Amino acid sequence: MNFLFAWRYFKSKKSTNAINIIAWISVVAIAVGTAALIIVLSVFNGFEDLVKSLYGDFYSDLKLSASQGKVCRLTSQQIEQIKKVKGVTGISLIAEEKAVLKNEDAQSIIFLKGVDDNYVSVNKLSTHIARGKYNLGDLDKPGVVVGAGIENAVDVDPEMNFYPLVVYLPNRKATSLRTEDALFSDNVDVTGTFTVQQEFDNKYAFTNLAFMKYMLDMQPDEYTGAELSTSADEAGIEDIKDNLQKILGSAYKVESRYQQNQSLYTVMQMEKWVIYGILCLILVVAAFNMIGALTMLVLEKQKDIAVLKAMGADREYIQSIFLSEGLVLATVGGISGILLAIGICVLQLKFKLLKLSGGTFIIDYYPVKLIPGDFVLVAATVFFVSMLAAWLPSRKAAGQEFSLKS
């Protein structure tokens, strides 16, 4: 019954037009706030998916490394045990170290990563070759695939590479700081350039595992780690990770793709919720409008309240009527905002109306991804803010005594 009163109060004509105007302003403000929250959260979801896809092409599902130090031992028996773990579809052994790549006067500090032939099955790097080709060479004639940033830094073109470059790697057994003792060097050919994401393009280069192990003077079963591909989803990967940790023991560290980039994902989530908090201020503004509209409605309906009290309505019932009025305003505004947000997001997905400026991004439009959980969160937020705003005028209506003669 209280909702029937609330609905009639909402759609009925008031004696003062200002009450109608303020009520509709609060509805519009709630609709705009709701739409803004959903649209911004959806854009963040789109960018998050885009970044995850880029990082997913570079990082493997799981990575094994030493718990302490840089080098770990992986025997052939351990490798076979890893392959037999349910859900593991591929394993690639790696050896990684900082190096200096030099082309006459041009040079760059890089992370040089030696990988075996199985690397293409656990990583999609080979699909991001922009120039040249994915050719890592062999021990006698090593090839290097570099990021686009490194290509510019050392001024090399993999398609017109007439002279080899020199790579310098640390001597792990050096006892002197003299350059000739502390560093090993060898000639390499730059065979290709990849473009994945600027952070990777400016930092990483790849070569074959045999050459890397030779330069780092590693034993046959020594590696800096291994990268694994799986057939499981995110929940299943955690189970595989736990199984691998039991097999390998505490001397080894097993990390999922999320853990390899934990700081990035944490920052992305923080940015999303900070923006969510800021945009909630729009709903707070709408709440002030709602307080004004309901307060004026209480004054408008003094005689109605007096009649209801004369008929036996208690304070809780009167308060529930005006709380319901606030819920009606929130529902009309919230549903309108949700429909508006869905319409805008669908148009963006279909026609790419909002473009990214600059022309240097991987895509030229704002990505959008609608997630049901965002709708639930925004609806709950609208309900909470609206009920909080409606509580004060409804409490005032229930507490005051009105006379039919006034």
d(CA 101, CA 211): 15
Would you say 373 and 381 are in contact if contact means Cβ atoms under 8 Å apart? no
| Of 151, 158, 171, 159, the residue nearest 108 (C-alpha) | 151
Tell me what the pLDDT averaged over the chain comes to.
89
- List helix spans (H) across 161-256: 179-182, 198-201, 209-215, 234-248
Residue spans per domain, the chain = 2-55+264-399, 60-260
d(CA 373, CA 350): 22
- Looking at the DSSP bridge assignments, the partners of residue 226 are 64, 93
Lowest mean per-residue pLDDT among 205-219, 246-260, 289-303:
289-303
d(CA 305, CA 402): 7
Confidence of residue 5 (pLDDT cuts 50, 70, 90): low
Contacts of 92 (CB under 8 A, 6+ apart): 60, 115, 116, 118, 119, 121, 122, 123, 226, 227, 228
pLDDT given for residue 402 in this prediction:
58
d(CA 80, CA 321): 70
Q: What is the pLDDT of residues 124-152, one digit of tens each?
A: 999 999 999 999 999 999 999 999 999 99
Strands 222-223 and 72-73: antiparallel
d(CA 284, CA 231): 46
E runs forming strands in 46-140: 62-66, 72-73, 88-103, 106-115, 129-132
Please report which helix (H) or strand (E) contains residue 223, including its range. Answer: strand 222-223
Q: What is the pLDDT of residues 76-125, one digit of tens each?
A: 999 999 999 999 999 999 999 999 999 999 999 999 999 999 999 999 99
| Of 50, 98, 337, the residue nearest 203 (C-alpha) | 98
pLDDT given for residue 180 in this prediction:
67
